[in-house]
Structure 1
Amino acid sequence: IRFDGRIFAPATPRQANDAGIAFIHQELNLFHNMSVVDNLYIHDCPRLKWLPFIHQKKRMTETDDLLAKLQLKISPHALIEDLQPGERQMIEICKALRLDAKLIIFDEPTTSLTARETEFLFKIIRQLQENGITIIYISHILKDVSVLCDRVVVLRDGRVVDQGDRHEMTIERMITSMCGCDLRQLYPPKTMPVGEEIRLDVTDLSCRGVVDQINLRVRTGEIVGLFGLMGSGRTELARLIFGLEKADGGVISLDGRNVHATRRPSVRRQKVAFVTENRREEGLMMEASISENMALASLSRYRKAGIGLLDQHLLQETVAEQAALLKIKGERTVFTPVKNLSGGNQQKVVIGKWLLTHPQMIILDEPTRGIDVGAKFEVYTIILDLAAKGAGILFISSELEELMGMCDVIVVMRQGVIVAEFDRNAFNERLILQAAFGAE
């Protein structure tokens, strides 16, 4: 590595910081129960001359200057937990500026941001660039890359496979380089027809203030997409169906058997899987291994009869086979901690955990959020394989293009109510968006 013309080999992040390199992680390194100013000075504080006391006035003045530089109307005393995701991102940039960084590395900075917050972030990044700061911008959102970056480098399996000027690196070329397939092949073709048997039947499902009179059906081998704006009730509906939340009324039937929607049933016994949108907090134990995570939903399969202990040999053998089928890439296969995996491989661990239960109905909530194009293609292939085997799929996504590429039916929700339904042969992006926004 050469930095500023000299050979550079940092042994610790602190050495990189001292050299002028800042790294803004996808999962922000902020203490949520502490104030803005305390987060900015978490590593070192200005001393009051030779006395062992913090120079509070200098700390506040410097913080005010940093916030003003980014045109942020945030109090230095505000707690991080009270800030919006976009504002937290700006505090990370303030930390980098305080280090007098010459190079700032952004890792998937827009994953949790709204369109307005993303636009403001891009404005700040361009401002940093104008001030002579070099930016490395890591993202799977190719539209953002094509708008923001001067040069694009594509990595696949740890190697540079393509690079070029922004105007040369079209989105089509980036996708081809990332996954080795043409843009038109991004969504694998669905070859198996939808069955006649009803896998999931939701009738008049209601939960006060969340969803109202929901009627929904998913047949065997069918992929039903659920689309709507944030707050439309999509995720809440999924959690009600899975039994994580209690409904006020309505009936849920799985393969013709009624499940009590007003109680919290053990739907896993009904062969239902739920891939949550928040894999890091709800889908995985980040410190545990691939093996330990993938066995979570099916531990009873590995229990030794009579003694209550797990058959570790059977467990490791089963998980290793599943990991190989899903092409999960880990340093030491199934013993790798999931925190060391990429977002795409972490998502495959979550899916693999549920596949070991042999589900007949699968609820997927934003299954491709935060993963690259190549990993998306692999997840799509897994979904289509499950549908081909007769599973019913409820696919929730904020990416309409994704739903149109994968689903047999798209159901649109707005304010907790189903407002429209489109069969595949009638998919129309404009009409679907109009239904989601409530526009005429």
Structure 2
Amino acid sequence: MSASQSVNPIDPAEALRLRSDFPVLRQQVHGKPLVYLDNAATTQKPQVVIDRIANYYAHENGTVRRGVYKLSEQSTRDFDASRTKVAQFLNAASPSEIIFTRGTTESINLVAATYGRKFIQAGDHILISAMEHHANLVPWQQLCLEKDAVLQVVPITDAGEMDMDAFDRLLTDRVKLVAVGHVSNALGTVNPIREIIEKAHALDIPVLVDGAQSAPHMSVDLQALDCDFFTFSAHKLYGPTGVGILYGKMKYLEIMPPYQFGGDMIHSVSFEKTVFAKPPAKFEAGTPAIAEVIALATAVDYLSAIGLDRIGVYEHELLAYATAQMLEIPEVRLIGTASHKAGILSFTLKGAHPHDIGTILDREGIAIRAGHHCAQPVMERFGVPATARASFSFYNTREDIDALVKAVRIVVNLFN
């Protein structure tokens, strides 16, 4: 049974109701109703998340874990409850496996700077794919330069899918870490992550999964996936900016050195010796983004009430509709045509630079992304300097896509 058959999808009326939860979407841009289609970059925030942040600063502000007074104790309880909420959301084995960072980028850098520096040796291989975001490429590239290790890259096909035959060839006992995106931010490709993890684990190779583009759009069960590290950013999950998640299996977190040093990540300090705290505190030096972490729990509750499976089905329907409509325009070239995609549609137009496309669409009230999407090797693979990218959310509608297609036709008429 397919997902669409087993899940009660969001219908157009519900999508409109959900859209009303997002105050930013009520505005006009250049005199046109805002059509927000840059959700892969960041999602808008529902009123409940905005209210949670405001309420914290208005009534609850107190530093966590450092006070015996009421405000501090309440903040600490809510902060710890958010960690538990995220662990449940991802089905982690324990809240102690959830580390709060500033975002996916910092989460990946944390693993590279701790696990990587300790365990990657000269001549070792790190395996990534050719579709990675720079945040899941540059840290490993720089680590390999530092350690005299080798960065191996799994090529992608013309459809934008990982070449799994090449993956099998490159996955040798010299590989000491596999780091791969769950969903490509530039192409929308959903990688066969379970297969990748199973094959790597057969050789006792740990796997880091960049989940920045998957956690907001599909159910993620970390115990079922069995990956060793998983990352995502709150701001792509309808939560605040400045907060990210690093999940790590406890067996790895216990043997990884600290990432930063300071308050809260210590057990005891003297001038002669410092004893570090156990995970997750060991990796959370200093005062965290308290209000943002607490508001992340509100965003998780909001999404969970809708249902990630329902969201995934609805966004896939939007993608299918948008793909069909765009393919009716002869001047459109779609970049990324994998058989299994999330709600991301990247394209180019004959005669028009993607930045011109983005600028003209903005005049029509339509917000898309134009550029290399922090994935320059992907652009090089497809022989383009950049793409225009529309990315979808459950608060988007077919009418939004109709507006996009109409605006794209305006661009075509201007440049051809």
Q: TM-score band (shorter)?
A: under 0.3
Larger Rg: 1
Question: Which structure features the higher share of helix residues?
Answer: 2
Question: Which structure features the higher share of strand residues?
Answer: 1
Q: Provide the TM-score with structure 2 as the length reference.
A: 0.26
Q: Provide the TM-score with structure 1 as the length reference.
A: 0.25
